Chain A
Amino acid sequence: MAPPVSAGIGLRLPHHATFLASKPDTGWVEVHSENYFSAPALAVLTRVREDYPVSLHGVGLSLGSADGVDAAHLARLRALAERIEPVLVSEHLAWTGVNGVHLADLLPLPLHEDSLTLFCRNVERTQEALKRRILVENPSTYLRFPESTIPEPEFLTELTRRTGCGLICDINNIHVGAHNHGWNAHTYLRALPAAAVAEYHLAGHMAGDGATAGLLLDTHDREIAEPVWALFEDALSIIGPRPAMIERDAHLPPLADLLAEAWKAQTMLERSAANALAA
């Protein structure tokens, strides 16, 4: 089962009450898996699941850790997935720590054959544990390692070929990465395996200052910028319409504002689908 090819929103804790009370017209919702490992939040998500398809988006499984996937974390994710029966389960091309440490951030992975082999192994282990295909998201990154030998879209392509996993194409992360590393965002989009892309993410970013001056930061704390909407339009032409998710994690606006952004994405998805039919 997949979510409808429609726009959904990232559901965050401060919106729980409003969401449950108003049951807004949105195609589906996505939540951060780790926020629902504890009992009270899980009870809310169970109620949401009665009315909406739910996607579980993880930030703590650390698929890129050289010392492997944390078995306890994977067990909690499996228990959550069995309870919620999500339409999608996803994680990131990233790691969060090694030697038993979890740093609560999506850290950049050196991209070479050894890390690809390791990442594939961890994805396969996760898919076996969950008994389902997962999606892996292209990350926002702020530095590159000199030992990296494989461009990110090629790494993701080979990952999908070897493991059968799908991809989340995060449009904002591509925009941020293109600025930070001098990539061409359209070349990146064309290099992704379109058939493996099962979801889009859209979010806001900001320009760094002080110690982070010169970088774009994937902050999820504001409206989606116009260049990101434009890149989404391009992605719809290159890859095609897929379920699209509006992500906001800080400075949360009223739920209605998020739904308005989702409606804009929905309109673009419908136009793309109509264009594809007409072609």
Chain B
Amino acid sequence: MLSLLERQQAFQAMLLASSSDERQAGIAVYRNNIRAALTLALRLSFPAILRLLGEDCFRAHAARFICAQPPREGDLHLYGDAFAAALAGSPLAAALPYLADVARLDWAAHRALHAPLAALLTPQALRAAQGDSVFVAQPSLSRLTLRRDARAIWTAVLEQDDAALARIVPDPGEIHVMVMRGLGGLEIFEVSPEIFAFAGALVQGLTLEQACAGMGDAEAAEALGLCLTRNLFTGFTPTGREELPCP
């Protein structure tokens, strides 16, 4: 007799196989249920990709992705972080070079909208910060480097503005974008490469002094000012401690 683990491994592999013997009605039910639930999760997380590709094409790509990279979490809000990379590696990417970046924007927006709204950085916390303190980023924050046309396409597609979509000129030039959940909802804004790098250094745990290395005083002040006014950070943790208690 198969052990329980062996049975479950074999059953799972059968459900995830790209094709299987569908003559067994019971197997077909589970395969259909899984594909429907996971495709729905991807549809909800990638609305712009769904509209760009259309129903059939989206379903086909979702089906391949589900078989290749099934969820690793029971919470389906977390499923799909690798979908953009999968699209980047698909044959579609040659014809639609902006596609993966549109998917990354979809995912960043989805992630932001489902993240907790953390407390804002207070003047008291700023005063208490030490030289070796490390900024704690908003849990909803994503930093993206995208093709310039991808953001315009994403916006036009979600607004269903066909005229705007038709006017977009292909532009592979890079832009740097922050995506987060603010007090008023989803916030997406473009920043300079210097501010993008500065914020990234802080997000990755460098101290303020380290993040400012190589920057002039005015440049550093502008970068820090934007980080504070945009509420990119929620507090500080001393170097060496992994994170603050939940605000």
A-side interface residues toward B, CB under 8 Å?
A: 34, 37-40, 59-62, 65-67, 70, 72-73, 76, 95-105, 107-108, 110, 114-115, 118, 141-143, 145, 147, 180, 208, 210-215, 217
Contact = CB atoms under 8 A, between A and B. Distances in A.
Contact of A38 (B2, B9, B16, B77): B77
Interface of B: 1-5, 7-9, 11-12, 15-16, 22-30, 32-34, 37-38, 41, 70-77, 113-117
A67 B4 CA distance: 10
At the interface, is chain A mostly helix, strand, loop or mixed?
Answer: loop
A62 B74 contact: yes
Given A208-B29, A212-B25, 16 more contacts: A39-B115, A73-B75, A100-B72, A102-B71, A102-B74, A104-B37, A105-B37, A108-B30, A114-B4, A115-B4, A142-B25, A142-B30, A145-B7, A212-B29, A212-B32, A214-B25
Nearest to B7: A110
A39 B116 contact: yes
A142 B29 CA distance: 7
Given A103-B34, A104-B34, A212-B28, A96 B74 contact: yes
Contacts of A60: 74-76
27 contacts: A34-B74, A38-B77, A39-B116, A39-B117, A60-B76, A66-B4, A66-B8, A70-B74, A98-B5, A100-B72, A101-B16, A101-B70, A101-B71, A101-B72, A103-B12, A103-B71, A104-B38, A104-B71, A105-B34, A107-B11, A143-B24, A211-B22, A211-B25, A211-B28, A211-B32, A213-B25, A214-B25
Contact of A95 (B3, B8, B27): B8
Contacts of B30: 105, 107-108, 142
B3 A98 contact: no
Q: What are the 8 A-B residue pairs with the smallest beta carbon separation, nearest first? A: A60-B74, A143-B26, A38-B114, A211-B28, A142-B26, A66-B5, A104-B37, A39-B116
Nearest to B77: A38
A113 B5 CA distance: 14
Contacts of A215: 25-26, 29
Nearest to B26: A143
Given A65-B8, A66-B5, A76-B75, A217 B70 contact: no
At the interface, is chain B mostly helix, strand, loop or mixed?
Answer: helix
A139 B203 CA distance: 45
A102 B24 CA distance: 22
Contacts of B37: 104-105
B25 A118 contact: no
Contact of A143 (B27, B71, B113): B27
A171 to B, nearest CB: 20
Nearest to B1: A147
A104 B25 contact: no
A154 B16 CA distance: 31
B114 A40 contact: yes
Contact of B4 (A38, A108, A110): A110
B5 A147 contact: no
A141 B30 CA distance: 9
A94 to B, nearest CB: 11
A145 to B, nearest CB: 7
Nearest to B24: A143
A73 B27 CA distance: 27
Contacts of A99: 9, 12
Contacts of B12: 97-99, 101, 103, 107
Contacts of B77: 37-38
Nearest to A74: B74
A205 to B, nearest CB: 12
A62 B114 CA distance: 23
Contacts of A147: 1-2, 7
A102 B8 contact: no
A34 B136 CA distance: 26
Contacts of B27: 143
A174 B25 CA distance: 19
Contacts of B1: 147
Given A105-B34, A115-B4, A73 B76 contact: no
Contacts of A37: 75, 77
A101 B16 CA distance: 11
Contacts of B41: 104
A224 to B, nearest CB: 20
